[in-house]
Structure 1
Amino acid sequence: MFSPANETQFILEIPGVSHDFQVLEFAGREALNTAFRFDIELISERPDFDLESLLNQPAFLALNQTGTGFNGLIHSAEQGESGKRMTRYRVTLVPRVYYLCHRHNQRIFQHLNVPDIIATVLKEHGILSNAFRFQLGSAYPEREYCVQYDETDLHFINRLCEEEGIHYHFEHAQTEHIMVFGDDQTCFPKLNPALFQQDTGLVADHQVIRKFAVQVETRTSKVSRRDYNFEKPKLTMEASQTGEAAPELEGYDYPGAFMDRARGKQLSQRALERHRSDYQIARGKSDLPTLVSGHFMPLTEHPRSEWNDLWLLIELTHEGKQPQVLEESISSHVDDKDGFQQGYRNLFTAVPWDTIFRPPLKHPKSKILGSQTAIVTGRLEKKSTAINMVASAWNSIGIDWTR
């Protein structure tokens, strides 16, 4: 049901700060394996609001009166120009994990698996177990040696997720947001059905999907990996996975980052799923504020019947404008260059419900350039011990760049 044109629809709640802010407009982007960001334009009767008092405050951007919205922290605050009575402000809303992009580190994790490493890093930033959870269907092997080198904590977490094929999304409530890690489809909640109605330029009676287009594109159809185990040099370390698509287009990788065949098979399967994640992709436009990434959207009433199914939302851009809060003429970014002057809209990207999502490799491992100093700490009682101490991971005590 629509709100009257002169009624305030969007509200920014900041429980820890007394304010009179009204939302003029906002724009935001959120996606799987991405820290969301919303830029929010506000107006206030106060021309001298303490900007620093807003920093790091929990806040909730409400998109309607039924509790739909985004919870996060205010990462930045800015004051703009003033009119006779109103002053413009801008704040940025981000998740707690976004702050991890401000800390660089160089260190070593030993004898931990990837979920444990991620949990350790999050807890160092005060993101405790009630603010994130793992819904993983597979077991992850312990890493004898895992290096974070010249990268931010957020980059490090994203890289580990991409290497293992782990995705994450956020679940929002008025007072909190929870980061959910998963590796299959079972962790994605299902939204209410979304009605498709072709965009005719007229105002619909209810909120609908206005545009929905589907694209298919050729992708890699086979993955092969090889590696070498110095303890078993005669053992062939190879794993491959082949999809059903034609033609056969192979992606080959060496070293394959595995020491046994079972691990190689798992990594090859994840790599193939990553290549195929965007083989079929849908893009659409709607005015449904309930759409959020990491959720299944049931599409209904589309004339192509096979598209009336579940679609996994992997990315959205949100936009809202309510110029009715302006009571005087101060310059506004609200314009109508594309006909959008008031209300809410979004653009979304989705994949079929049975497409296993694996995050693309966007966060490469840092390269360690030059020679590295270290101290061998093992007792060299046998010749084989000396060989193994050099061939295996160095003891972290002797590396200059660790703390």
Structure 2
Amino acid sequence: MRVLAAMSGGVDSAVAAALAVEAGHDVVGVHMALSRNRDQFRTGSRGCCSIEDAGDARRAADVLGIPYYVWDLSERFEETVVADFLSEYESGRTPNPCVRCNEHIKFEALLDKATALGFDAVATGHYARVVTRGDGSRELHRSPNAEKDQSYVLAVMGPDRLARAMFPLGGFATKAEVRAEAERRGLSVSAKPDSYDICFVADGDTRGFLRDRLGSRPGEVRDVEGNVVGEHDGAYAYTVGQRKGLGLGRPAADGRARYVVDVQTSTNTVVVGPAELLSVDRVAAEKAVWFDSSLVGPVETTHVETSPAATTWRDVELQIRAHGSPVPAQVRATPGTPGRDGVVAHDGVPGLELRLTGAPLRGVAAGQSAVVYRGTQVLGQATVADAWRG
């Protein structure tokens, strides 16, 4: 197969490209330049897409003996991932830019361009596993490396794009094994530190980044009784479940810690309250993507005008954060976004409804990605629209 290997300049993508070459594929390496103002060097292990990273990717391609190119996707990245990040925070939601990058850049812009150029698949250094069924269809599964598993951020890609994706690191149980592979192959990135945090916020100061882009918008911090207990410089910088950095002027009457329980962007108000207000056992999510069509049922095949009913409840596991623990739940597909009163907004875009069957979850915020699993298999994904205690 002709395979386009996405090479970030890190050890994971370099080893993934090496394994694709070893498997006998015709491999071409490409580095995605995503930042318009790339620094010469990263700050330790923060950020990515620097000129240093592009150089590391080129050297790895040279060692592997494969062609190497740099594709400038910075405009697309700014218009999709960064714009979504700012818009979601400005709307009082909590985005996951890694999910959006996989959706809009790696498995939309990159994959579509690769297909147009005649490539059969794109190989990346993600930690996830693909299982091929007897009928040739593919399943997305967790990586055996639980610490590095990235199936959560890949769930948004859907079955069509999964059919043209390769994850050569799917069988590695530890990062140490990957580094050993890189060292054995003479790849200089074998000891390079992992990047973390938000790649386009290289200094790790998310609040500062938001303030620079969205401006200062002073407002009030109130408790659930409506009393003013502090001030803020912009409600957009706060997220449900946040405890630190609230700058409250006086402690709660009962002395207990307070958390952000609501962000009201219409009034530029941040509401704080006790931890128990964060516990939810019902989640409504929008823009669902399904890998297992058996969970979708009539929602996918019935016109919205006929107001189809939601599918039956199925036992699954739900994960809300990239490295969060899955919790037992039941899910049903809906023909639109479900609401607290059970009424579905028939907007023509399928959603899903979840009810937890174990302990409640804390700090679930609109904008987060809700990924549904059965064991290690990813069944579907949607974006949280609301969460409450039923």
Q: Fold conserved (TM > 0.5)?
A: no
**TM-score (structure 1 length as normaliser):** 0.19
Higher strand share: 1
> Which structure has the larger Rg over C-alpha atoms?
1
Bigger RCO of structures 1 and 2 (CA < 8 A, at least 6 apart): 1
Higher helix share: 2
